[in-house]
Amino acid sequence: MPVTAPAEPAVLRELSFLDRFLPVWIIAAMGAGLLLGSALPGLQGVLESVKIGSVSLPIALGLLLMMYPVLAKVRYDRLDTVTRDRRTLALSLVLNWLIGPALMFALAWLLLPDLPEYRTGLIIVGLARCIAMVIIWNDLACGDREAAAVLVALNSVFQVLMFGVLGWFYLDLLPGWLGLDSEAVAFSFWEIVLNVVVFLGIPLAAGYLTRRFGEKAKGRTWYEERFLPRIGPIALYGLLFTIVVLFALQGETITSQPLDVARIALPLLVYFAVMWAGSYAMGKAAGLTYERTTTLAFTAAGNNFELAIAVAIGVFGVTSGQALAGVVGPLIEVPVLVALVYVSLWLRKRWAATSG
């Protein structure tokens, strides 16, 4: 089906005031978190005093607030059209569970050969496929919400099944085959399950039930034209709250080791750029629509930094180099993927002209 390019004014002008200046709010939230962490040294202890598994409760709350409105927008009666699209499903599995971890492994060894702790932390980040923030990036870039819900659910299942197996493969078995230093690491199966249940299961169930009962009580027109616009901004408020809390918790670690942060940032920047652009190229070559291609790109490029940080802290300790690598992940991922949202919206205007 041909895609009609949006008419002028430009796509960016179609965004709400909050969406249009999202990079400004993101930078402000990062700065606020860093200032809070330095101005209130005891804040970290307070924020970490209550946890869900290994994740701070305030971060969990922010992620739930962020994901719920987007999942409430999904038209669940259309999910069968996505599950029948074997090209999208196959490409997502290949990108997320074959190419993504392999690319991060290669970049970690190429760019951090002398820093084994950071290298291990980056490989763990590469294994943690995104099941949370990708929902909001996809929505802001006008991707396919139904496809995002399916691909995130698929990633969740594979995360439970494959995270430990791939961790053993990339940290122990493969380095041994290649004659490199190996590092055996044990992963908690139940920690991964809890992560998936909290960060996907709860908001997914809430979104589904909200749509089902809302449409039953008031109809689809009321639900989509009256109710959804009211709860929509909650997603961005949740995102900004999560960023403030995250940087308040980890700001001291980031600011105290700027050179190490720069070393860790380089492979992450390459990784996000290659995964996103490569996914776009594969989706375009496979004949997917702009919406499906965008969803494919963001679900492949994003990572589950909550799980990566939790695993790194649980296995190696809160002051370890592996934990620092996990913390730097969102520092780089958030602004990069926000920028890619704007690149996607620019590409959206030109999609019809370049599609066959």
Q: pLDDT by residue (tens digit) across 247-287?
A: 787 677 677 778 888 999 999 999 999 999 999 999 999 99
107 token code pair? 């970049």
CA dist 192 and 172 (Å) reads: 20
**Is residue 156 a contact partner of residue 131, using CB atoms and an 8 Å limit?**
yes
Q: Give 8's DSSP letter.
A: S
pLDDT of residue 162: 85
Polymer length of the chain = 356
Element (H, E) at 341: helix 321-354
CA dist 156 and 356 (Å) reads: 34
> Over the chain, what is the mean pLDDT?
82
Q: Which has more pLDDT, 22 or 289?
A: 289
Res. 52: pLDDT tops 80 = no
Res. 243: pLDDT tops 50 = yes
CA-based angle 258:298:195, to the nearest 5?
75
pTM for this entry: 0.77
Percent of residues, the chain, with pLDDT higher than 90: 28
Across 36-40, 222-226, 346-350, the highest mean pLDDT is recorded for: 222-226
Q: Where are the beta strands (DSSP E) in the chain?
A: 51-52, 55-56
The model's pLDDT over 105-133, given as tens digits with 9 standing for 90+, comes to: 999 999 999 889 999 999 999 998 887 67
Res. 55: pLDDT tops 70 = no
CA dist 59 and 62 (Å) reads: 5
Q: Of 196, 197, 187, 193, which is closest to residue 166 (Cα–Cα)?
A: 187
pLDDT of residue 301: 93
pLDDT of residue 2: 42
pLDDT of residue 111: 95
Q: Where are the domains of the chain?
A: 23-349
70 token code pair? 């987007």
219 token code pair? 């109809």
Architecture of domain 23-349: Up-down Bundle (1.20)
224 CB contacts (<8 Å, ≥6 apart)? none
Q: Is 321 exposed, middle or buried (0-12, 13-18, 19+ CB in 10 A)?
A: buried
Res. 10: pLDDT tops 50 = no
CA dist 132 and 64 (Å) reads: 9
248 token code pair? 């308040």
The model's pLDDT over 186-228, given as tens digits with 9 standing for 90+, comes to: 666 676 677 677 777 888 889 899 999 999 999 999 998 899 8
The model's pLDDT over 144-184, given as tens digits with 9 standing for 90+, comes to: 988 988 898 888 888 878 888 888 899 888 998 988 877 66
Average pLDDT (306-311) is 74
Res. 69: pLDDT tops 50 = yes
Across 41-45, 215-219, 325-329, the highest mean pLDDT is recorded for: 215-219
Kindly indicate the confidence band of residue 317, based on its pLDDT and cuts at 50, 70 and 90.
Answer: low
